[in-house]
Chain A
Amino acid sequence: MEAWLLAFILLGSLLLFLVLGLPVAFSLGGLSLAIGYFVWGGTGGFYAVTLGSLGKLSSFTLTAIPLFLLMAAVLRHSGLADDMYEMINRWMGSIKGGLAMGTVVISAIFAAMVGISTVATATLGLTALPSMLKRGYNKKLAAGAICAGGALGIIIPPSVIMIIYASEAEVSAGQMFFGGIIPGVLMATLFIIYIAVRCMRNPSEGPPVQENFTWAQKLTSLRSVSLPVLIILLVLGVIYLGLATPTEAAAIGLVGSLFCALVRRKLNLENIKQMFAMGVGVNAMVFWIIIGAVAYSRLVTMSGVGEWFSELVTGMEVNRWLILVGMQAIFFMLGMFLDPAGIILITGPFFLPVVTALGFDPLWYGILFIINMCMAYLTPPFGFNLFVIKAVAPPGLTMSDVYVAIWPFVLIQAITLAIIAAFPQLVTWLPSLMIK
């Protein structure tokens, strides 16, 4: 079969099944097996796919994912956000827009502990949002800051999506982690500057809190960040110093967060059940997409479709940067409807060979992809964080409020994307310093 026809059938039917509501995992896996039956001339290819799935699932890079996800679930149910928010209240409450800026800071701290995007949004949606609304903050500013802050979860390391990308693109997960730090901090800083400027120009959007706190009260509140900071230093520190791989760091982080939950007396049976349900559930979702993608990637690669696409794109007489912009535009559009794991696994077999052929650095390209996925968490109609905040927000906040609230933040993410695209050193500098 002609490669273009096969690509058309594969992507067309994939789109059809996705639109018909079949989960991404089963659309990818089932469809690839069905089409593979004809392309491979029978069931011969099934053997390789089945055995390949087991090999992929037990591959070293991916073993970090369940550990990071359970760690995220443990921290989610440890009540850390409440105390950290109280600290922000005491230190930054008296500044115009201080609580919203502080929310971004807490989100960044959460992002440095957990590898997914929804944890900070869910926890801060429960604590910070009602508190800011009570103090007269503009609800769109408050909701936007919480959604956008949550999205930092996948760009500031650790990051589950980075691990999946690293496994697909065959780059080092540890280097990806450190490549994400500067872009992540830059994005958070731009969020904070935006909130500050907005509240300075219109103080009614984020009025200063009237309560006054003594220095003693302020200093005691700092205790709330001691455990998180310890966990961050532990997890990222051991990777940076070359003492542990990302998988080992994830294991240390999990044990550390369990200790943290124990100290805070949160390890009761009900909480453990919730931690397991969240960690195991999200892990199953991610891994079954990976399982589906094993069959899909094999079909795209072995049938020559991937090669055809790569030759088609690289053979075009256009500037390579235009192709890069085109890819980012496709990511952005897919991000409105699909989750990041699905997007990287669906586009990977097509795009990754092109990236290498065009001479781009796969590490830097991966970070551009991740920044784009931060946008995917916010863009309507199906940005994950929008639903997360709507689910936990007080009744006064409507979905259309949230839709309006996120656009300035999406614009800031786009600016970050452009800066990182223009200055690749911002990504590659830190990984080059790592002790290997």
Chain B
Amino acid sequence: MRFFEKVISKVNESMMWIAGCFILIMGFVTTTDVLLRSTINSSIQWAFSLNGYLCAAVALLTGGYALLANQHVKVDIFYAHFPPRVRSIVDICTSSLLFLLCGVFVWMGMSICLESLVAGYRTEGVLDIPLFIPQMLIPLGGLLLGLQAIIDLVHNIKVALGLTTAKEEDKL
């Protein structure tokens, strides 16, 4: 389990670097496009489509990272006052919705990708690539988030069963 946890956390952390670089690419390509357009009246045709796909990639691939970094906002008016064990039990129950979301993304996302792959669909517009490539982001995003959530779930089960305390889990 420790190994699984380490690997998933490392993968999600690396998504932070990948996403950061993607945003930089968006920034530099778009700036170059604007410069070319306003100076020599030429433009990078594929910049527009590339931006859209990179934006989707940055968003979808980092759901797991945000969970790892505790960035997803929640209303903790009551939640913060629950005793640690109650909090773990509540988290186990409410995470069912998170797993539903991830499950739908992985399952539906995969079937959408396979459909596009088999039919040989390609993206519309100037950036002509197989459509399943951007579509792969959906199941991948769901998977990264889901795996990170499994780690949290295991922690919560341990705390709920009294096998370990929340403090010990936090230290790990």
Contacts and interface: CB of A to CB of B under 8 A. Distances in A.
A21 B16 CA distance: 25
Contacts of B93: 20
B30 A276 contact: no
B87 interface: yes
A197 interface: no
A288 B97 contact: no
Interface residues of A, number: 69
A70 B75 contact: no
B109 to A, nearest CB: 6
B14 to A, nearest CB: 11
Majority secondary structure of chain B interface residues (helix, strand, loop or mixed): helix
A49 to B, nearest CB: 7
A327 interface: no
A411 to B, nearest CB: 24
A50 B105 CA distance: 6
A30 B82 CA distance: 23
Given A50-B109, A280-B62, 4 more contacts: A19-B78, A23-B98, A276-B16, A284-B63
B8 interface: no
A168 interface: no
Given A26-B72, A70-B23, A276 B55 contact: no
Contacts of A243: 34, 38
A106 B109 CA distance: 46
A34 B94 CA distance: 12
Contacts of B79: 19-21
Contacts, number: 209
B63 A63 contact: no
Contacts of B105: 50, 53
Contacts of B66: 281, 284-285, 288
Interface string A374-414: 00000001100000000000000000000000000000000
Given A60-B48, A275-B20, A50 B101 contact: no
A30 B72 contact: no
B117 interface: no
20 contacts: A20-B78, A20-B93, A21-B87, A29-B101, A47-B112, A50-B109, A57-B56, A60-B51, A66-B59, A67-B23, A251-B31, A252-B34, A255-B31, A272-B20, A276-B16, A280-B23, A280-B58, A283-B62, A285-B72, A288-B63
Given A22-B97, A27-B97, A63-B51, A46 B108 contact: yes
B159 interface: no
A142 B48 CA distance: 45
Interface string B51-83: 111111011101101100101111111111010
Interface in B93-151: 93-101, 104-105, 108-109, 112, 134-135, 137-138
Given A21-B94, A248-B34, A57 B55 contact: yes
B74 A22 contact: yes
Nearest to A295: B101
Contact of B52 (A19, A20, A59, A244): A59
Majority secondary structure of chain A interface residues (helix, strand, loop or mixed): helix
Q: Which of B15, B52, B54 has the most CB of A within 10 A?
A: B52
Query: What band does the interface of chain B fall in when counting residues whose beta carbon is under 8 Å from A?
Result: 35 or more
A337 B77 contact: yes
A305 interface: no
A275 B30 CA distance: 20
A21 B91 contact: yes
B104 A284 contact: no
Q: Which of A24, A25, A51, A250 has the most CB of B within 10 A?
A: A25
Interface string A242-277: 011001101110110010000000000000100111
A29 B149 CA distance: 15
Interface in A1-29: 17-27, 29
Contacts of A250: 27
B161 interface: no
Contacts of A91: none
B58 to A, nearest CB: 5
Contacts of B104: 33, 46, 49-50
A63 B55 contact: yes
A129 to B, nearest CB: 24
Contacts of B59: 57, 66, 283-284, 287-288, 290-291
A101 interface: no
The 9 closest A-B pairs by CB, nearest first: A30-B97, A21-B79, A276-B20, A58-B52, A251-B30, A287-B59, A284-B66, A23-B72, A254-B27
Interface in A29-77: 29-31, 33-34, 43, 46-47, 49-51, 53-54, 57-60, 62-63, 65-67, 70
B69 A18 contact: no
Contacts of A284: 19, 59, 62-63, 65-66, 71-72
Given A280-B58, A283-B62, A58 B27 contact: no
Contact of B112 (A24, A51, A58, A285): A51
B17 interface: yes
Nearest to B15: A280
A279 B71 CA distance: 11
B90 interface: yes
B154 interface: no
B74 A18 contact: yes
A182 interface: no
Given A21-B91, A284-B63, A66 B97 contact: no
